[in-house]
Structures are given as C-alpha cells and as structure tokens.
C-alpha cells in the first residue's frame, strides 16, 4: 500500500487483459469489463479513445469544472454528464457505473472501496467528468516507432505525485500527477511531436529527464501503477495524468466521489483521430 499526503492508496493485484485485447471493439471491451474482467487498459481497443472518470456531487461539480479549466494539461474534459446520469455521448448505450474494469469510491478524501461495479454506491446527484487519457496517444507513439515499455512488459503505466501544485479552484486543490514512459533518445523528438498533436489527451510532456525536477525521488516506487524496466539509455518522459483529480480528492476531501482505478480506463466509441489537431 502506497500513501499520498497521509491517505492510503490501495494497489490491488490486477488481472491483465487478453493478449488479443488490442483488436477488441470498445463495445466488446466494455462488455467484458461489465462481466468482471479487470486490469490496466493500455493497449486495449486500438484506435479508440480512453478516458479517466471522476464523479462528484452536484454541489462540487462547478469546483471540479473550474479545476479542470484551470489545469487543462492533466484535466482535459471530453464530456460532462447531467446530474445522476450514467450515460455519455462518447459511448452509445454504455453504463458508467458498470463498464470500467475497476473503480475507486472515496468518502471525505479516504479510499473506502475498489469495486468492479458502483451501482450500489451511485447517487442521483453525481455529475461525471470524462477526462482525456494518455493511453490514447500511445498508438501514435507506437506508429512513430516509439517503444511503449509498460505494454511490452505487461504492466500498468507508472504514475507519480509531483511537487508541482495545480492551480486551485474553489474548494479543490492538490498536486499534479504524471505518468512516465522511458523513451530512447533517438525517439524522444517523435514522442514529443506525436503526443503534442493530441492536446485533448494531455498533449506534450510536462518534463523530460531528471525526475527530481518534479520532486520524484525514486522511479522504482510509483504512487500508482507499476514500476517499469527502462533501457540503458532511456530518458524518463513525464506527461500530465488524469489521476490528478484523485490527488485533489485526497487533498481537498469532498464528502463523496467515484473515480476509475488508476490505469483502468473507460473505453469510448470515439476514434483517436477525432482529437488529433493536425
């Protein structure tokens, strides 16, 4: 169990998804997750956009929307639901209460449950925010020849709480969270170029190189996800991460929230190229 600002963060063992998951349709992925399959979704349903989820009570929704507007790198909003709704225009017929591999349930900033179905926890006042995910641009990186170490190694992407504070909004405040991918020097320019063309899913990196520049002491001990083995010359490259709202929940302690489990995303019907700017 890791900890962030004194609050527990439970990392449960994951059931890795099928080796053919890249060929699933997003509908097939959601059906499998609804039936109980869990695990990190990196590499699942190639070419389809993945999103982070955070659901908060309606009286916190404006604070969350303002937090996302003020911190667009970690929190690029792709959809916001009506209060109580579990549907989204990003995935016809999907159910946000059942169709993610695993969820996290928070009370007063404390993690209290990690179910695979949150219907028992759902409230009629919840407003859900669907936030772009960096798993989406991994296909662009791979197409440009950039190796994706965590996919190669069958692991969840490593994520770290940084020393950089997000811009606060109303009652919400907290640190920036980043995901890290080791990149060989010869592929660094391609990684920056390809991700920068997808700003709706975090865009370009926020930092390359020495992790201490972000206040990260040990790459081998991520706050979320799994450590990955880097190549001998690999450079650690850090992207803003959609787990940032969870860090804000831990820091700001709203009375209730539901989020995705880090690395276990919602698969939308949207195609990645819809969010490419060039």
Q: Is 154 exposed, middle or buried (0-12, 13-18, 19+ CB in 10 A)?
A: middle
**CATH 2.40.40.20 correct for 137-240:** no
State the pLDDT at residue 11.
41
Ranges for all domains in the chain classified under CATH 3.40.1640.10: 2-136+253-275
State the pLDDT at residue 9.
40
Ranges for all domains in the chain classified under CATH 3.30.2040.10: 137-240
Residues 185, 205: Cα–Cα separation, whole Å: 15
State the pLDDT at residue 54.
98
CATH code for the structural domain at 2-136+253-275: 3.40.1640.10
Which residues, given as ranges, of the chain have pLDDT below 50? Answer: 1-15
Query: Within 13 Å, how many C-alpha atoms sit on residue 165's CB side?
Result: 8
State the pLDDT at residue 43.
86
State the pLDDT at residue 17.
58
| Token code pair at residue 102 | 């695993």
Query: Within 13 Å, how many C-alpha atoms sit on residue 1's CB side?
Result: 7
Task: Work out whether strand 2-4 and strand 7-9 pair parallel, antiparallel, or are unpaired.
Answer: antiparallel
State the pLDDT at residue 5.
40
Q: Which residues contact 213 (CB under 8 A, 6 or more apart)?
A: 207
């Amino acid at each position: 169990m890791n900890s962030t600002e004194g609050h527990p963060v439970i990392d449960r063992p994951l059931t890795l998804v099928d080796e053919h998951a890249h060929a699933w349709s997003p509908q097939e992925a959601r059906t499998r997750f609804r039936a109980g399959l869990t695990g990190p979704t990196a590499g699942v349903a190639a070419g389809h956009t993945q999103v982070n989820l955070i659901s908060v009570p309606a009286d916190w929704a404006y604070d969350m929307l303002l937090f996302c507007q003020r911190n667009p790198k970690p929190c690029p909003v792709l959809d916001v639901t009506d209060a109580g709704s579990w549907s989204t225009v990003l995935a016809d017929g999907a159910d946000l209460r059942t169709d993610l591999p695993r969820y996290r349930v928070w009370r007063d900033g404390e993690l209290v449950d990690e179910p695979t179905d949150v219907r028992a926890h759902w409230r009629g006042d919840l407003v859900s925010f669907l936030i772009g995910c960096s798993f989406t641009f991994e296909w662009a990186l791979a197409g440009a020849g950039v190796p994706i170490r965590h996919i190669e190694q069958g692991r969840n992407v490593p994520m770290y709480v940084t020393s950089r504070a997000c811009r606060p909004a109303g009652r919400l405040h907290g640190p920036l969270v980043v995901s890290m991918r080791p990149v060989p020097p010869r592929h660094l320019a391609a990684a920056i170029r390809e991700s920068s063309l997808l700003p709706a899913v975090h865009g370009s990196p926020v930092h390359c190189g020495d992790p201490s520049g972000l206040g990260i002491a040990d790459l081998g001990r991520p706050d979320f996800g799994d450590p990955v083995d880097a190549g001998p010359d690999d450079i650690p490259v850090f992207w803003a991460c959609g787990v940032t709202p969870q860090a804000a929940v831990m820091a700001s302690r709203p009375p209730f929230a539901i989020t995705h489990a880090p690395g276990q995303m919602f698969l939308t019907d949207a195609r990645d190229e819809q969010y490419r700017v060039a």
